[in-house]
Amino acid sequence: MTTATTLELLSRAVREGSAVWLGYVDAQGSGSQRVVRPVSLVGGFLQGYDERRGENGTFAVHRITSVALVEEEAPAADGG
């Protein structure tokens, strides 16, 4: 995945309020998978709510190894 593709997906998620799956490597080189609801993308950093940790976080874009939009299911409208 190219940096341009990563930035485009993250920008879209910020605009739409969509959650994303992130592959992320921290400063110590430890990899993790996270579900983040992005709030802003500024100066090479993504800020958003990390659903796994239950807190806001800041993620350096250059440490993001993969990104995908989370498909959120619409509520069933079966009419009962």
Q: What is the pLDDT of residues 27-76, one digit of tens each?
A: 999 999 999 999 999 999 999 999 989 999 999 999 999 999 998 665 55
Helix (H), strand (E) at residue 73: none
Fold of 3-69: SH3 type barrels. (2.30.30)
pLDDT of residue 61: 95
Nearest to 22 by CA among 69, 72, 80: 69
Mean pLDDT confidence for 17-30: 95
pLDDT confidence tier of residue 3, bands split at 50, 70 and 90: confident
CB-based contact 10:22 (threshold 8 Å)? no
CB-based contacts of 23, cutoff 8 Å, min separation 6: 31, 32, 33, 64, 65, 66, 67
Cα distance between residue 64 and residue 45, in whole Å: 10
**Residue 18: is its pLDDT beyond 60?**
yes
